[in-house]
């Protein structure tokens, strides 16, 4: 899967170990681009960026990763590796929605929902999943519409609300699935007191073909209560963190000599300007 949207996890001074760990846990993986700042891995063809420096916040379950398995043994093997030095958020068990499901936070603080279904609910194996809680409680549906209206090749594949019997507001989302530029995300509302919210330890990267794309996503995502940060980073009105970057960013910083010119220019920017980076 070669997609222009993918997640980034900040794991300071742990990216090499984490890359090898996740490839071992999930199999069918490889290490792609590497640099002093980034290790990019592919799991089942999906890109995940592991960032070696940047935000000081730690990953939490506000953005977890739903792993779609078709075999209970596979789910159990993944669980046994992820739970080592981690802890369970929901125990591995049989549930009405899955023959074998568990929610685990691994030793790096990253949260994984391991889901088993014979039919397979999506062709994408690993799906970032937003949890709207705290001040964002009840905003999952609004956010899904906001995102799918912004990005091309997007659609809402399904929104399931809670029932009255479940003791939640029936307008809240129990589970939703949607695509942004053909990349599958999931979302839910949760009224439980979790003590966390979205932060910049897990962000969503958007690779842009040109400056017009960067300008469009930057201007819309940072508006209406969003916030410009630095170096192509912003937070949207829900607190979700995004990196809006040019497609050729890897080329610009892969050569150490050129990177020494490009990085100081980038560090002074909020929104990235491709021409200025290319001319550095």
Mean pLDDT by 10 residues, the chain (280 residues): 86 94 95 85 94 87 96 96 97 95 98 87 87 96 98 96 89 97 97 92 96 97 96 97 93 80 91 92
Its sign, for the CA torsion 179, 163, 76, 131, is: positive
Q: What is the pLDDT of residue 119?
A: 67
Element (H, E) at 158: strand 155-161
Q: What is the pLDDT of residue 258?
A: 84
Q: What is the pLDDT of residue 235?
A: 98
For residue 76, the Cα-to-chain-centroid distance in whole angstroms is: 23
Q: What is the pLDDT of residue 55?
A: 77
Nearest CA among 80, 78, 55, 58 for reference residue 235: 55
Domain residue spans in the chain? 5-189, 209-278
Q: What is the pLDDT of residue 122?
A: 63
CB atoms within 10 A of CB 23: 16
Q: What is the pLDDT of residue 256?
A: 78
Q: Which long-range contacts (CB under 8 A, 24 or more apart) does 277-280 make?
A: 277/246, 277/249, 277/252, 278/248, 278/252, 280/252
Q: What is the pLDDT of residue 120?
A: 55
- As a whole number of angstroms, the distance between CA 246 and CA 272 comes to 8
Q: Which long-range contacts (CB under 8 A, 24 or more apart) does 256-262 make?
A: 259/35
CATH hierarchy code of domain 209-278? 3.10.180.10
Q: Which CATH number fits domain 5-189: 2.30.60.10, 3.40.50.300, 3.10.180.10, 3.10.20.90?
A: 3.10.180.10
Is-same-fold flag (5-189; 209-278)?
Answer: yes
Query: Helices 140-150 & 211-221, crossing angle to 10 degrees?
Result: 160
* pTM, to two decimals: 0.94
Q: What is the pLDDT of residue 2?
A: 59
């Amino acid at each position: 899967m070669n997609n222009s949207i993918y997640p980034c996890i900040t794991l300071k001074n742990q990216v090499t170990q984490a890359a090898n760990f996740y490839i071992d846990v999930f199999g069918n993986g490889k290490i792609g681009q590497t640099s002093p700042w980034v290790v990019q891995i592919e799991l089942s063809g999906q890109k995940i960026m592991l960032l070696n420096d940047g935000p000081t916040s730690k990953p939490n379950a506000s953005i977890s990763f739903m792993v779609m398995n078709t075999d209970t043994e596979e789910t159990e093997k993944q669980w046994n590796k992820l739970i080592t030095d981690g802890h369970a958020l929901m125990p591995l068990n049989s549930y009405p929605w899955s023959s074998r499901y568990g929610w685990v936070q691994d030793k790096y603080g990253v949260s994984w929902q391991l889901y088993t279904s014979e039919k397979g609910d999506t062709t994408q194996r690993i799906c970032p999943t937003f949890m709207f809680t705290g001040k964002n409680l009840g905003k999952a549906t609004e956010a899904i519409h906001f995102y799918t209206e912004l990005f091309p090749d997007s659609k809402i594949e399904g929104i399931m609300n809670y029932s009255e019997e479940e003791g939640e507001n029936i307008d809240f989302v129990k589970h939703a699935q949607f695509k942004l530029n053909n990349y599958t995300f999931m979302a839910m509302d949760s009224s439980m007191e979790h003590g966390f919210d979205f932060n910049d330890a897990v962000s969503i990267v958007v690779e842009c073909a040109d400056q017009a794309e960067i300008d469009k996503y930057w201007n819309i995502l940072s508006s209406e209560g969003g916030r410009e940060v630095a170096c192509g980073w912003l937070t949207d009105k829900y607190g979700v963190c995004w990196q809006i970057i040019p497609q050729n960013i890897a080329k610009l910083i892969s050569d150490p000599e050129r990177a020494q010119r490009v990085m100081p220019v980038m560090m002074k920017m909020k929104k990235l300007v491709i021409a200025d980076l290319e001319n550095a």
